[in-house]
Structure 1
Amino acid sequence: MKRFLKNVIITIVPVIFLSACVAPTLVTKESEFPGMYIEKPKSLLIMPPINLSTAADAKDYYSTTVEMPVAFQGYYTLPYEITSEVLKQQGVYDSELVYDMPLNKFYEYFGADAVLFTKIKKWDTSYVVVSSSLTVSIDAEIKSTKTSQVLWKYNGTVIVDLSGGNGGGLVGLLASAIVTAINTASADYTTYARQANGRFVGTIPVGPYHPMYLKDQQDKIIQQ
C-alpha cells in the first residue's frame, strides 16, 4: 500500500508542477481578430451592460467606466447617456433584448459600424471575518452592425485581496478582522472595474483616430 501511494505521488507531483508552469499562449491581434481589420469599424455604439452578477447596482456603476478607455483606442464612441436614453425610448431597456438579434438597425439609427456589448460576470466580495477578496470580471465583445458577427471578444478580471494581514495572537487576530471589515466596506468597485477594463481594452485593434491604426496587426496578446 505504501509503495502504491508513493508511486501515485511521484506520478501526480510532476503533473501539478508542469500545469503550474504552463506559459500563456501569445497570438497576434490580426490572427485572433481578423474581422476587425477586414471591416475596419470607425464608430462604436456602447450598449448598457448586461448584469449577470448578484449585485443589483453593478450595471449603473460599471456603465460609467467604459466609454473613455474605448475612445482612447481610436474609435468614435457615440455618447453613452444619449444613446442609452434613445434606446429606452425605443423600448430597449436591457441589452439582453437585442444581443441575439440582427444589429443592422443600429447602423440605420445611429450610424454605428459596430456595437460593444459588456457582460458583468462577477461584481462581488467574498468575506470571512479575517479574509476578504473582491472580484470584478467583465466579458466584452464587439459585434458588426453589417453582419452581426463577433469581431472581437475578451475578458477582464481583477481579484483584490482585502484581508487585513495575519497578526499574531488574539489582539492581532482582532486587528486583522477590523482592518478586513474596513477594507471591505470601503472598497470602490468602479476603481477595480476600470482596472478590469484595462485588461481587455488594450487587446482591441486600434481605430482610425489612433496613431497606430492598421499598424498593430502583429502586436502580441494573451489568447483567451
Structure 2
Amino acid sequence: MPNRLLKFMLVTLISVTFLSGCVTPTYVTKADEFPGMYTEKPKSLLIMPPMNLSTAADAKDYYATTIEMPMAFQGFYVFPYQLTAEVLKQQGIYDAELVYDMPLGKFQEYFGADAVLFTKIQKWDTSYAVVASSLTVSIDAEIKSTKTSETLWQYTGTVVVDLTGGNSGGGLAGLIASAIVTAINTAAADYTKYAKQANGRFIYSVPVGPYHPQHLKDQQVKLIQQSVTVAQ
C-alpha cells in the first residue's frame, strides 16, 4: 500500500509539473507580436458591434458602451460608435459576424477607416451557489486592416470577481448572513465596471496610435505572447 501511494504521489507531482510548464506565459515585445500595427500605422478605427457568444442576452448592449473612449485614449481617431452602428444597420449589417470573414475594403471606402475593431464576448456570466458566487467577463478583441483584411493585433482580457459574502461568523446564523451578502453582491454586480477592467487587459497591449505621445516609441514594451495558449 505505501508503495502504491508513493507511486500515485509521484505521478501526480509529475503531471502537475508538466501542466504548469504548459501554461507558463511567454513575454514578447509589442513590435515582435504585432508588427502589422507598426508597418501600416492605422490612424482611424471603426468599432464593430460586439459579437455575443455568452449566455447573457443584454451583454452586447452593455459592453458596447465601454470600448469607444479607451481606444480613443490610445491615440486613434475612433468613429462615433452609435453613429456608425446606425449606418451599418441601414446597410443591413446588424451583426459583426456577417462581415468578420469578408474583405474589409468597403469600410475604407464608406467611412475612410484604416482598421476595424472586432470584439467577441466569450463570457458574461455569474456562477451562483447560495454562499459562493463569482462573476466572469471575458473579451476577445481583434484589429483588422481595411487594406488587406489581415489581423494587425489581437488579445484576450478576462476578469473573474469573487462575489462571495465572506466569513460572517460560525453556525447557521453566519451561514445565512453570508448567503444574504452573496446574493446582494451578485444582484448588484456592475458588469460594465468589470468589462472595463477586462478591456484594460487588452487595451494596454495595443500599439498606440498617431495621436498618442508614445506613437512608435512603445515597440519594446513587453507583454504576454498571444500566439500561444496562455492561462489568463
Q: What range describes the TM-score normalised by the shorter chain of this pair? A: over 0.9
Q: Report the AA paired with residue 66 of structure 1.
A: I
- Three-state SS of the structure 2 residue aligned to 1:41 is coil
Aligned residues: CA RMSD: 1.4
> 1:7 aligns to what?
7
Q: Which residue of 2 aligns with 1:105?
A: 106
Aligned to 1:79: 80
Shift of 1:38: 1.0
- Map 1:50-69; keep pairs closer than 5 Å: 50-69=51-70
Q: Secondary structure at the match of 1:134?
A: strand
Could you tell me how far apart the structure 2 residues matched to 1:90 and 1:11 are? 59
Show the counterpart of 1:30: 31
**Cα distance in structure 2, aligned partners of 1:193 and 1:174:** 30
Q: What is the count of residue pairs matched by the alignment?
A: 224
Deviation at 1:42, TM superposition (A): 0.5
- Aligned residue among 211, 214, 223 for 2:213: 211
Which deviations, in whole Å up to 9, do the C-alpha atoms of 1:23-63 show, x marking residues without a partner? 42111001111111111100000000000011110000000
SS state at 2:182 partner: helix
Per-residue deviation, residues 138-191 of structure 1 (Å, max 9, x unmatched): 000000001101110000100000000133110000000000000000101000
Aligned residue type for 2:215 = Y
Report percent identity of matched pairs.
73
1:183 counterpart (159, 182, 185): 185
- 1:8 Cα offset (Å): 2.6
1:39 equivalent in structure 2: 40
TM-score with structure 2 length normalisation?
0.93
- The residue identity in structure 2 corresponding to 1:11 is V
Partners of 1:34 and 1:84 lie apart in 2 by: 29
**1:13 CA drift (Å):** 1.8
2:230 aligned partner: none
1:222 matched to 2:224? The reply is yes
**Which consecutive residues of structure 1, in runs of 5 or more, have no partner in the other structure?**
none
* Aligned counterparts of 1:17 and 1:109: Cα–Cα separation in 2: 53
